[in-house]
Amino acid sequence: MLKMAVKIATPVSTGHSGLEWQVAPEPVPYVEAVKIMEQRVADIEAGRAPELIWLLEHPPLYTAGTSAAESELLDARFPVFKTGRGGRFTYHGPGQRVIYCMMDLRKRGRDVRAHVCRLEEWVIRVLKDIGIKGDRRAGRIGIWVDDKRQEKKIAAIGVRVRRWIAYHGLSFNVNPDLSHYAGIVPCGLAEFGVTSLEALGVKATMGDTDKIFKNQTKEIFGE
């Protein structure tokens, strides 16, 4: 049974700088995660808390970004949430590492596209460390890999910005049940599939993956 309590510390001190890293020890309900992000965004803007990278998993669900079309929801087998992030439909669930990045773009150039590029580069470097070549594709947000000579997405990216504080972030497929994507047209791209580290033959735990992401944090975010 999913426990609703979310074990995540809430910083209350002021005058913060730097970048905080937190990992949720159990699945976080989507609505609760959004509330926590929005509060953190307000706290970052007001100088009450530092930027935050928050790693978690969600119970199975679909989210619809601001560009999502109703026709792309094929089978609402899981709860569906409309969200203010960019992008279209995507799936979240166990075995997928969701990384929410609450970043102050006021000190990072006030450039949303540059922020998205940083997230993309982060995934590309993590995949390289694992031994997989990940790439961007023109006109398609996210990171793509070759899986049995087919282009498939392994990481989705969607962000929202409020008063130059960015939040939401990326999802990275470690070992989710890929059949759960059948209920949607992932990111509106029916001609392409999705994959995971496990499907690519990589046996890695969530903790293994987290460590690689953390090792690349300074190179990407400078802290």
Q: Which positions are annotated as active-site residues?
A: 187
Please state, in angstroms and as integers, the Cα–Cα distance from residue 105 to each residue in 47, 53, 166, 209, 218, following that order: 13, 14, 7, 26, 16
User: What is the Cα–Cα distance from 102 to 197, expressed in whole angstroms?
Assistant: 26
Please state, in angstroms and as integers, the Cα–Cα distance from residue 200 to each residue in 90, 97, 154, 213, 215, following that order: 20, 16, 10, 18, 22
Which residues lie closer than 8 Å to 139 by C-beta, 6 or more apart?
none
What letter would DSSP give residue 184?
B
